[in-house]
Amino acid sequence: MAAISRDDIRPVILKFFSRLPVDKWESLNKNSSDDGIKIYVAEFILDLVDVLTKSLLVAMKNNNFIISEEVVWSILGNTLPQTIADFLGIKDMVECVSATRLTRLLVKEAVTSVKSAVSCNSQAEGIMESEHVTSHHRLNVMVGHAIHMLRTIGAKMKACFDLDYAKTRGLWRPPLMDKKGMTSTKKRATSPQAPLRPQ
């Protein structure tokens, strides 16, 4: 069983798109990225590092999984952009340089975080917790790659937001989920002027 799966990172993706305001998503897709957008994306990145770290620690504990950047990269690969695309109802394969660079940096951060947790645990008994903190510079670099990746994915979207909902709530409306956590194919009213959203 893979140490990291789409099921691990899907909740982080759901959280990000559930919180992202409509105007921020529109601005991002118009090649505008203000500080507000960067804050949302930075939180998304840190959440990803956290969930990757926890998944790897569980794999180490349960399966004697050996942690290295190359091993983790070989497992993660194109999982992040493709999971985002699947979440948004995009059937096409998503490939972009920014996604690859972002994933490489996420892997590096997660592996460093895991090593920190292992080191701390060797000095004190109990649950392994990492003391690693992502630097502002590394975070800013990852935010830049993530924004480019999201624009690439956004350009592939064929469905639209529910404009009335967007106007009344001002928030991203995540796709309907069935009991198994899969995107619903239930039809919704759309508008060509509305921000992009999955059906």
Domain ranges of the chain: 6-158
Query: For 16-20, 61-65, 86-90, 91-95, which range has the lowest pLDDT when averaged over its residues?
Result: 61-65
Count of beta carbons in the 10 Å neighbourhood of residue 180: 5
pLDDT digits (tens, 9 = 90+) for 74-103: 888 899 999 999 888 887 788 889 999 999
pLDDT band at residue 36, thresholds of 50, 70 and 90?
confident
pLDDT of residue 125: 52
Q: 193 or 40: which carries more pLDDT confidence?
A: 40
- What tokens were used for 147? 């924004």
Distance CA 182, CA 175 (A): 9
As beta bridge partners, residue 196 has 160
Considering only CA atoms, give the Rg of the chain. Answer: 18
- What tokens were used for 99? 């996604």
pTM here is 0.73
Mean pLDDT, to the nearest integer, of 119-137? 64
Q: How far is CA 24 from CA 37, 114, 116, in A?
A: 6, 33, 35
